[in-house]
Copies of this chain bind each other. A is one copy, B any other.
Amino acid sequence: MTKVAVVGAAYTKFDEHWDKSLRDLSTEAGAKAILDAGLEGKDIKALFIGNMSAGRFIGQEHLAALTADHVGLTPIPATRVEAACASGALAFLHAYLAIRSGQYDIVVAAGAEKMTDIKGTDAIATLMGAGDQEWESAIGLTFTGLYALIAKAHMHKFGTTREQMAMVSVNNHMNGSLNPNAQFPKEITVDDVLNSPMIAEPLSVLDCSPITDGAAAVVLAKEEVARSTRNPIWVLGSSQASDTLALHNRKSLTEMSATKAAAKNAYEQAGLKPSDINIAEVHDCFSINEILAVEDLGFCEKGQGGNFVEQGSIKRDGSKPVNTAGGLKSIGHPVGATGIRQVVDIVKQLRGEYGQLQVNGAATGLALNLGGSGATAVVNIFGKEQRETFKTF
């Protein structure tokens, strides 16, 4: 069975794009990724796109065919995949499986979202489509509210502090300040976070990722094709898992069981342990979630995520650099695009060509993309060297 590599990767500036529509952003990201791969449009055999809610944000479903149309690639197979904020990574996973199935040799996996065309309050309501409509949305919960419950539970159980959560945002903004494609490329301080307006206690506005327009795309190719490209980055593991949508049905508020399940399979596929991972992109939609992520991915013990952050382990010169290009917090979070954007950042780091963002010596990287309050988790593991073992579940 063929092995698969990422051979092209790009994302647009993440921003409020008043002059570009969703199709413009997807096309820009896709064209850049194909050029980055040294390929042409005619080489692409299929298209996958992750998008959460274009139906509500811009009145447009059927986004994959629309994208194939706008980029001039019809009649290629075009599939939209949706799992809330994990839509991007899930599009990647299915593009990967489609190549493994033998159906295609070169595939684009993209992610895109245009969130700023509706009112902010409508955007918040739209995003609650990722939660349980009958149990959560209907009673007025928001995602900040849901993650505030998680944060409170984590603080209560493990002594995690607001300052530690703030340090997540500070680190991501420090990294993002060097990223020209970030929506908010500026440094902030712990005091900035603590003194910013409270959204849902204990999460203030600077604990929260923003509303963003943007798109990202990668080109995946089977081994024979990948080996002829200049710098393939290999997919070592790719796995997804599900959990209850509604928080009240979870056994624990302080861990993401879907993350743990997806990570276990992805590590096993890759034949790697958490300690073998050099860099990671994790889903910091809210600061507390990065703390849960480093725990649930096995980078530190459960409950030690706050200390792990405080000790500087996640910094670019720390033991486990996390969100090295700015994370959702600083780069922005166009929800369907984020999972692919994370892959792009891992690929650029592993290629060793990320300029001022480069973390030296990174040979393995992991990306964790979550949907909702963790009901979907997707873990993809990448390496400069090919070494996967493919497991059937």
Contact = CB atoms under 8 A, between A and B. Distances in A.
A261 B74 CA distance: 10
Given A60-B132, A62-B245, 20 more contacts: A56-B56, A61-B84, A61-B129, A62-B131, A62-B371, A62-B376, A64-B83, A65-B245, A65-B376, A69-B242, A69-B243, A69-B244, A74-B241, A74-B242, A75-B241, A75-B258, A76-B242, A77-B241, A82-B82, A103-B392
A276 B38 CA distance: 43
Interface in A236-250: 239-246, 249
A375 B129 contact: no
B81 A62 contact: no
A101 B98 contact: yes
Contact of A376 (B78, B132, B246, B393): B78
Contacts of A218: none
A61 B53 contact: yes
Contacts of A76: 241-242
Tallying the copies of this chain within the complex gives 2
Interface in A67-87: 68-69, 73-84
Contacts of A74: 241-244, 257-258
A207 B215 CA distance: 40
A223 to B, nearest CB: 13
Contact of A103 (B68, B83, B100, B243): B100
A392 B102 contact: yes
Nearest to A245: B66
Contacts of A45: 393
Interface residues of A, number: 73
Contacts of A133: 58-60
A184 interface: no
A78 to B, nearest CB: 4
B242 A132 contact: no
A19 interface: no
Nearest to A259: B75
A118 interface: no
Nearest to A269: B103
Interface in A126-171: 126, 128-134, 137
